[in-house]
A = this chain, B = another copy of it.
């Protein structure tokens, strides 16, 4: 096994991904932005999004500075290696950068997609999918680049031991997760406060359509899509991607004490990037393609990439490890991701019974559609949990977990890597949704022909289906990665100071009271976290509601179109309140593992991680799927079922959709990050906890 060859491979893959992203970005920017009105709207959205991100980064920098100081002090006192504080910073930096670039390209592609849709559906798809590809390949490219640079530095320049290499690398995972949480929570609050605010007053009270330029919150709503659904998702998936790779590197080293076990996840990731690039070339349609054909075009790309990866990984595993067995762990991960995605689609798409029945329940009023939506979400947790369970069992036992637990845990981590290996292209098909959504908004506001909006809507609804698959990968990989990180934590404790504290973590029996109490507290965290983020959305939305009502009342001529609404005020309001609100949840996520560790010791921390992973997975699935089902039930009614648009049933469905908004776009996805951040923080503060804890 030539170690340098591996690093070269990942370097090449990451650079190819970034180059590919640059090419795609150039392609997007080569299209025309359309009419002056479109350019003006697009500029407002871009400015708003830029202003938000600039202010967000200014707050985040304070957090990173403080954490850098804390980690620095710990490093000076021998509780961490000296690289850790710097690794932490780069993780945060690259995660933020992923979001930033994604947002930049999305805000540039919105008007261009709308304009392209004036010429045809196909051209619109090309622009939007290219923008999505920029995002997808930026995330995987930057992720691999960060890993490659650190690997090169730590292993070849500073010549650290493998275990110390992975230890430092886990810290940039913590940096990435912290940044991702800020981005997801802040962006999620922004987008939903604007959305809820715009809908409640504009649609429900004033009775004007969605994306109507008379609505003062309409630009804020579009800005929100970019800072939440795009920048937030970029940072989030950067974190997932990097987290899965480094946790399997760490477990690989623990299991095999050999570089080859680190090499495998890196190679899978590199191969995944290359296969994903190839896959994008298959996404082509003939002019005048139907929606089904469009979907088939997208699926062709992702399926081809997945099959290619599955084919290439088989010999790869054999070359690196000398046997095939662990290959099936990777395959299990890939398959599980697809199946969870299909389950998500079943529960949230209006082509299936659950969402159709949900739409029907609007006939007996608002209360029943709320109750039914909650129960659809709760029930939808069953299949994913069974899939993940089977995946864990398979990954564990095929990797040799029967003989050595360490090998089995490595298999679980590799399943997550397998699941995320197609991220380049799945994220491309996922990220193009918000672009199409925004294009629709711009088409509406710029008063373009109705056919344009119809085309962007077709793209958008296609995006919902592909997004369901994307969510499957994000949620499934989060659970597997969190389990892997928990194992890394246990491993870490055992190796601190040459094993001096190994006896502190021997009793991980589930009926050891510290483990049990940790489990209780960990299971509680996603509930508290969901409550905090929902409250934040509620508070921020209320301020938008009041402002929009004020503008409708005070600005004369706003309804007749004689006077312009004050869009900037709403953007500013959303920015302020979302940034204000994003701080507490993140602090909770960082502080709790340290506090629990200090009080209950490291067995309590392990319990907490297990509890948070189980309950977090359930809450994330529940909230995402309830939200998705309400959204599509509303759209199903709007398509003319059960009374159609404007009926009482529709009004009930709008309430359901509004409740679902923070569920699916703020709380749900944030919990995915939360469960990994808890583990990362626990690992970084392990030495502190083990030396100074009460129990």
State the A residues within 8 Å of B (CB): 196, 200, 204, 361, 364-368, 370-372, 374-379, 381-382, 385-386, 388-389, 392-393, 396-397, 401, 405, 408-409, 412, 483, 486-487, 490, 508-517, 519-521, 523-524, 527-528, 530-532, 534-535, 537-538, 541-542, 545, 606-607, 610-611, 614-615, 617-618, 622, 655, 658-659, 662
Tell whether, in the assembled complex, residue A511 and residue B366 are in contact, meaning their CB atoms are under 8 Å apart.
no
Tell whether, in the assembled complex, residue B614 and residue A367 are in contact, meaning their CB atoms are under 8 Å apart.
no
Residues on B with C-beta less than 8 A from A610 are: 510-511, 516, 519
A contact face: mostly helix, strand, loop, or mixed: helix
Distance to closest chain B CB from A69 (angstroms): 29
Distance to closest chain B CB from A629 (angstroms): 12
Distance to closest chain B CB from A189 (angstroms): 13
Given A513-B408, A538-B368, A610-B519, A524 and B382 contact (CB-CB distance below 8 Å): yes
Residues on B with C-beta less than 8 A from A516 are: 392, 483, 610
Given A396-B513, A519-B614, A371 and B534 contact (CB-CB distance below 8 Å): yes
Q: Given A366-B366, A409-B511, 16 more contacts at CB 8 Å?
A: A200-B365, A367-B658, A367-B659, A368-B541, A370-B659, A371-B534, A371-B538, A371-B658, A385-B520, A392-B516, A486-B511, A508-B509, A510-B510, A516-B610, A523-B614, A524-B618
Tell whether, in the assembled complex, residue A523 and residue B618 are in contact, meaning their CB atoms are under 8 Å apart.
yes
A618 and B530 alpha carbons, distance in the complex (Å): 13
Distance to closest chain B CB from A385 (angstroms): 4
Residues on B with C-beta less than 8 A from A618 are: 523-524, 527, 615
10 smallest CB-CB distances across A and B, nearest first, come from A367-B658, A378-B531, A379-B531, A375-B531, A523-B614, A375-B534, A389-B517, A378-B527, A396-B513, A385-B524
Given A371-B538, A405-B511, A538-B375, A528 and B615 contact (CB-CB distance below 8 Å): no
A366, A367, A377 interface centre (most CB from chain B within 10 Å): A367
A364, A401, A524 interface centre (most CB from chain B within 10 Å): A524
Distance to closest chain B CB from A37 (angstroms): 32
Tell whether, in the assembled complex, residue A532 and residue B379 are in contact, meaning their CB atoms are under 8 Å apart.
yes
Given A523-B614, A531-B379, A541-B368, A392 and B517 contact (CB-CB distance below 8 Å): yes
Distance to closest chain B CB from A136 (angstroms): 30
From B382, B508, B530, give the contact of A375 (CB < 8 A): B530
Tell whether, in the assembled complex, residue B364 and residue A521 are in contact, meaning their CB atoms are under 8 Å apart.
no
Tell whether, in the assembled complex, residue B366 and residue A655 are in contact, meaning their CB atoms are under 8 Å apart.
yes
Given A364-B541, A531-B378, A389 and B511 contact (CB-CB distance below 8 Å): no
Distance to closest chain B CB from A304 (angstroms): 32
A473 and B513 alpha carbons, distance in the complex (Å): 21
Tell whether, in the assembled complex, residue B513 and residue A401 are in contact, meaning their CB atoms are under 8 Å apart.
yes
Distance to closest chain B CB from A662 (angstroms): 6
Residues on B with C-beta less than 8 A from A530 are: 375, 378
A412 and B517 alpha carbons, distance in the complex (Å): 12
Distance to closest chain B CB from A519 (angstroms): 5
Tell whether, in the assembled complex, residue A393 and residue B527 are in contact, meaning their CB atoms are under 8 Å apart.
no
From B509, B514, B520, B537, give the contact of A509 (CB < 8 A): B509
Distance to closest chain B CB from A672 (angstroms): 15
Which residue of chain B has the shortest Cβ distance to A389 in the bound complex?
Answer: B517
Which residue of chain B has the shortest Cβ distance to A519 in the bound complex?
Answer: B614
Residues on B with C-beta less than 8 A from A385 are: 520-521, 523-524
Residues on B with C-beta less than 8 A from A376 are: 531
Tell whether, in the assembled complex, residue A378 and residue B615 are in contact, meaning their CB atoms are under 8 Å apart.
no
A371, A408, A531, A545 interface centre (most CB from chain B within 10 Å): A371
A94 and B368 alpha carbons, distance in the complex (Å): 36
A522 and B392 alpha carbons, distance in the complex (Å): 16
